[in-house]
Structure 1
Amino acid sequence: MEQGQFIELLSDLVKIGEAQDNRLTKEEISRYFADLDLAEEQMELLYQYLAANKILVEGAVMPARQEESEGMAARLEPEAERYLEQYLEDLALIEPLSESESSALTEAMAAGNEAAKQRVIESGLKRICDLATEYAGRGVHIGDLIQEGNMALLEAADRFTKGDFWLFSLPLAREAMLEAIEEQSGQDAIGEKIAVRANRLMDISAELAKELEREPTAAELAERLHMTEEEVRDIMKISLDVISVADSGLGAGEEEGHHHHHHEDGCGHEHE
């Protein structure tokens, strides 16, 4: 093949990757260049070319740039970083699948073979972990992101009937992670809004108490704040609940050991 033709093929491959959310799998690339019989070293150069064009090659081990490694460290809290290290150690014990094995097993899985399904799922855990690290530091624990992705992988395996399993499953996993981040962002925004209202309520309450020389009623607070009495009572209740928790000593970590939250990643690994 002439150089011009090869460059044209590369350009077309980049366009395919861009159409797939800037992602390609090793299997897709191998099939695309099946007629050329490229050596492993040539394939590695090809992966680097795609990476330079902002196309992520799933399953390819790329030498991490120092700034990327530092960025990942900055995005993860120490506990989350320890969790990820342990999880990756566990995943390293899983034997990876060759392209032919993956193809045969996904076909068997589609035909209803449970053993094949479990092996395919197992082989996909590292892919899910790689996806999760892309979304680290956005308000959701890395373990929760992995859990969301693994659950989407399990669901995809149940629904899969034909075609490329990874093209089918990985977008579902990505979507599940993004939904978790969006949901958490919404909860944070609601919490901030309530906190602002509670602070405003306390300020106005103190102001009215000084004016009236007594504690203001809910109706008086509602009038001053341009709220309904029900809204005022709801904010007062939330404020009292927060104060109650703080006064109990739990907020200071007095009974911290009894109130850790444990999460599983969907495949038996826990984090706090």
Structure 2
Amino acid sequence: MDVREFQEKLKKMQELAKEQGGSLRAEQIREEFSGSDLNSSQLVNVLKYLTGQGILIEGIETETEGSDAQEEVRRVPLTQEEEAYLKEYLESLPGEEDFPESGRLFEELRSGSADAVQSLAACYMRAAARLAVEMNTEDIFIGDLIQEANVSLVQALGAAGEILRSEEWLLEQIREGIRKACKEQSQRKFEDDSLVARVEKLESAVRELSEDEEDGESAFSVGELAVILDMDVEEIRDTLRLTGDDK
């Protein structure tokens, strides 16, 4: 299955999920990708990508290899490196007992107090880190996720307005920021993986087509490769630029 067909199938699945209120059935995905050359690992990556886009996969628990895909997207354990980073980061933060009662700070926030914004931001940085750990995924380093959580924290406080806000509201704003960051990173990783797959496909095909050439050079033009590999000419040119073989 070529890249364009694969992308069209993914788009079709996303559109179907939208029609179905943000969910898909596992059998719908199997049916759409049946007959493709995807192996089980690649199919799990498809499931992870779709769940990373906020799509609920119904019946995924019945899948042998895909049963953990939805959970993996939501939460994975920290690596040793991340554990060490988290410990050092938390030790650098002031203790929660060092801040005034948050209820009063939210009252002052409603009146537009800049001091309240700063105090609440400092007060909830530890909570933001805990949420980042709870929502950690394998696609983003925990330090970066904590940073995204802190950005969401500050942005939420800055846009709080004159409504009396609460801790529950603030924590949900942080969660939403973390979800968005995870979704965007998942999208970028998926696109990067697809790009790597295109490069590998092209390099492999060129090697195979060049095996019979005495000088090891391909006798095929870019246009001919496009026909043979069922790829757009521009897609091949872009891939060759990445490999440095566009001479």
Give the TM-score category using the shorter length: 0.5 to 0.7
Structure 1 residues without counterparts, runs of 5 or longer: 1-73, 242-272
Which one-letter code corresponds to 2:235 in the other structure? Answer: E
Question: Cα–Cα, structure 1 residues 93 and 167, in superposed 2: closer, same or farther, change >3 Å?
Answer: closer
User: 2 CA distance for matches of 1:118 and 1:203?
Assistant: 55
Tell me whether 1:177 sits opposite 2:181 in the alignment. Answer: no
Which of residues 88, 91, 101 is equivalent to 2:90? 88
- Residue-by-residue CA offset, 1:175-229 (whole Å, 9 max, x unaligned): 1111111111112211221222212211221222235654222112111011121
Displacement of 1:141 after TM fit? Answer: 1.2
- Residue-by-residue CA offset, 1:63-95 (whole Å, 9 max, x unaligned): xxxxxxxxxxx8222222111001111224453
Q: Which residue of 1 aligns with 2:145?
A: 145
Displacement of 1:120 after TM fit? Answer: 1.5
- Residue-by-residue CA offset, 1:46-79 (whole Å, 9 max, x unaligned): xxxxxxxxxxxxxxxxxxxxxxxxxxxx822222
The answer to whether the 8 Å contact 1:139/1:185 transfers is yes
Tell me whether 1:187 sits opposite 2:191 in the alignment. Answer: no
Tell me whether 1:240 sits opposite 2:241 in the alignment. Answer: no
Displacement of 1:154 after TM fit? Answer: 0.9
The answer to whether the 8 Å contact 1:138/1:181 transfers is no
Larger radius of gyration: 1
Map residues 39-188 of structure 1 onto 2, 5 A cutoff. 75-97=77-99, 101-160=101-160, 161-188=162-189
Q: Which residue of 1 aligns with 2:18?
A: none
User: 2 CA distance for matches of 1:186 and 1:117?
Assistant: 32
User: 2 CA distance for matches of 1:178 and 1:190?
Assistant: 18
Q: RCO greater where, 1 or 2, for CA within 8 Å and sep 6 or more?
A: 2
Q: Which residue of 1 aligns with 2:226?
A: 222
The answer to whether the 8 Å contact 2:105/2:116 transfers is yes
Which one-letter code corresponds to 1:199 in the other structure? Answer: E
Secondary structure of the residue aligned to 2:139 is coil
The answer to whether the 8 Å contact 1:91/1:126 transfers is yes
Pairwise CA RMSD of aligned residues? 2.1
Displacement of 1:164 after TM fit? Answer: 3.2
User: 1 CA distance for matches of 2:201 and 2:121?
Assistant: 51
Secondary structure of the residue aligned to 1:171 is helix
Displacement of 1:163 after TM fit? Answer: 2.8
The answer to whether the 8 Å contact 2:152/2:177 transfers is yes
- Residue-by-residue CA offset, 1:152-172 (whole Å, 9 max, x unaligned): 111111122223332222212
Identity of aligned residues (%): 31
Q: Which residue of 1 aligns with 2:200?
A: 199
Secondary structure of the residue aligned to 1:75 is coil
- Residue-by-residue CA offset, 1:108-149 (whole Å, 9 max, x unaligned): 121122222211111111111110110224321111111111
User: 1 CA distance for matches of 2:136 and 2:121?
Assistant: 22
Give the structure-2-normalised TM-score. 0.61
Structure 2 residues without counterparts, runs of 5 or longer: 1-75
User: 1 CA distance for matches of 2:200 and 2:115?
Assistant: 57
Number of residues of Structure 1 aligned to a counterpart in Structure 2:
166
